[in-house]
Amino acid sequence: MRQKPEVLAREIVATSRLFCVEEVQLRFSNGVERTYERLVGKGAGYGAVMIVAMLDSDHAVLVEEYCGGTDAYEMSLPKGLIEPGEDVLAAAERELKEEAGFGARQLEHLTELSLSPGYMSQKIQVVLATDLYEDSLEGDEPEPMRVDRVNLRELAALAQNPQFTEGRALAALYLARDLLTQRGVFQP
């Protein structure tokens, strides 16, 4: 196993309402020193959750919301921050109700994904939600989200949709599809 670099210094060099840019001075085992910058969330430690919510054996819920990073309305999976003291499955249930108007009788943690580990510390927990029922909670979104669906047989086409660009969401859908196929729930 490789030895992690020695941290020589850390400093927050920029900050906003949501994020901090941390500069990290490192020395690698071969003596080479480098400065890395990474985006760290304020109040990091609670994390985030993304939900693959299955309407039936073939279809997953998608939501459309305005995304500041791309300055566009994008389709993705329901997701959000885990509140202090909240566990992953409770956060998934809450976010699903807030963003899509569904509760789930079955919730299962699938995996943890990162977006850009070279530059960001944040990770997201992926949860599979099944046996859905209509239920909603008021969320913190500035406007109602449009709810849509995707057939798990059409993920390649979804990846070509210019309104669906989030790689984590696509990976989560493929992981859920593979798991449901292994369990005999989904027939490709």
What are the average pLDDT values for consecutive 10-residue runs of the chain, which has 188 residues?
A: 92 88 94 92 74 98 92 95 93 97 98 88 93 94 92 97 96 98 93
Give 82: exposed, middle or buried? Use CB within 10 Å, 0-12, 13-18, 19+: buried
**pTM reported for the whole predicted model:** 0.88
Give the containing element (helix H, strand E) for 34: strand 33-41
Q: What's the CA gap between 158 and 59, in Å, rounded?
A: 13
Give dist(CA 65, CA 40) in Å, integer: 23
- The pLDDT assigned to 69 comes to 83
pLDDT at 109: 98
Residue 5's pLDDT is 93
Tell me how long the chain is.
188
